[in-house]
Amino acid sequence: MKRFQPQPGFVVQAYRFALDPNASQEHALRSHCGAARAAYNWAVGWVEASWWQRRAEETYGVPEAALTEWRPWSLPSLRRAFNEAKHTDPRFADWWEANSKEAYNTGLANAAAAFDNYAKSKNGKRRGKRMGAPRFKSKRKARLSCRFTTGTIRVERDGRHVTLPRLGTLRTHEPTLKLLARVQAGTARILSATVRHERGRWFVSFQAEVKRDIECVARPDTAVGIDLGVKALAVTADSTGEIRTIANPGHYDAARKQLRRASRIVSRRQGPDRRTGRKPSRRWEKANAARNRVHHRVANLRENALHKLTTSVAAEYGTVVVEDLNVAGMLRNRRLARQIADAGFGEIRRQLDSKTRQRHATRLVVADRWYPSSKTCSGCGAVKAKLPLHVRTYECDACHLVIDRDDNAALNLAALAAAVVTGTGVAGDQDTPKRVSKPRGADQKTRATRPRRKAGAGRGGQVAQLCRASGRRKRETVLKPKLSRFGDVTDLPGRNARNTET
């Protein structure tokens, strides 16, 4: 599906407001979100049914030309099939009229996007981690969300109510004057609305096409380098040599004592048991809600602190330099995973990218992931071979500069802004940029089998030594190759081929 492109001088911006629905409105909201989940599960089952049918027919020796046709997963095809099945399918025949058509369209659109991402990832056309086939959404774990693109979607003139299709007029917890003023002035046009249950509250997010208002920065000719860390959330150093340290608030660590107490109370109550079908008690539900409120407060405090940090940086400097951190890999460190997740490194970069590009029209430079910002001397440019993480002071062997490790990295990032090619937004190794053969950046071949572990490494080595000492032989295990759920990728034709067959 073609992506929406705003007209020149406009940007797509979201305005989110908390809702205060009454009992009947909350029931309707949950019904719409449940309908979206049911439509998504129906689409996944409908498409995968042809996959499993073809695999069963191949085991009976059915020729390729006589196999069951592939079912398309494009959004128009899913809509046509769902409109034919909703009248006869017992899962929808009795209640599908109770919700807006936008609820079912939300689930079908999400399923079409999931299958597209799966096919592109299989064919090497999608960045990031390789994705698997779409799976069914559980009623217990699925996030309650529904999107409205047609019908009556507006912000009321009183500034305290919004109107959505089939849901009617809902009161907002906070005033909507910021969006209402733009709509009345003609500088904003509402495109869609999404309702979502998050952190114990209902929210509505309006996606609007807004006229771009460029805000001037305080120091447009100054570049700043940001070094993110755990002990200090961020260390900023600008091109003039000024260094600032933003302390890590540590909201989660501050609430751990309260969370332990709340979790202990929950564990002493009679909770749900899916194996026996036992329902949770009222006391368990109250205790669990109290524990969730602590988690929600921590998340809100963290989000507020990150917004304040990124807004102040984007509004002051004309060029912002950040590092391309492998946050997913950093979270594998079990000693620092909690602190890294609480800091929100990925969210800081995402907010800086949005605010520098849309709000201030400034430049965001992303340093190369392998750029040695900490190992390079900010005075003479000498690079150290090794610098362990526990060494927090940088001592240069060439010019004998002694400086804090984070301050040195921030100064190097700030100096890197001058060497960046104009308009590329990529720093580090500018002369010979590395080009990879696949968008995921995986040039190295994946090992077909696991490497053989040494006898003295880990618990397996200890078990082997004990077995040899006792005269017994450890039984060897054979690692079988894990097959794909739906066979080889060559069995899946392209999206256009599926559309032409129908």
Task: Tell me the sheet residues that pair with 317.
Answer: 219
Q: What are the phi and psi torsion angles at 169 (to 5°)?
A: -95, 125
Beta carbons within 10 angstroms of residue 153's beta carbon: 19
- Find out whether 237 and 224 touch, Cβ atoms under 8 Å: yes
Q: How many CB atoms lie within 10 A of CB 485?
A: 12
User: What residues pair up with 357 in beta bridges, in sequence order?
Assistant: none
Nearest Cα to Cα of residue 442 among 131, 120, 127: 127
What is the Cα–Cα distance from 18 to 172, expressed in whole angstroms? 6
SS3 354: helix
Cα–Cα distance for residue pair 363/184, rounded to 1 Å: 32
Which residues are known to be catalytic?
227, 323, 406
How many CB atoms lie under 10 A from the CB of residue 256? 13
Amino acid at 53: Q
Which residue bears the tokens 């295990």? 477
Collapsing DSSP to helix, strand or coil, 369 comes out as coil
In angstroms, the CA 77 to CA 66 distance is 22
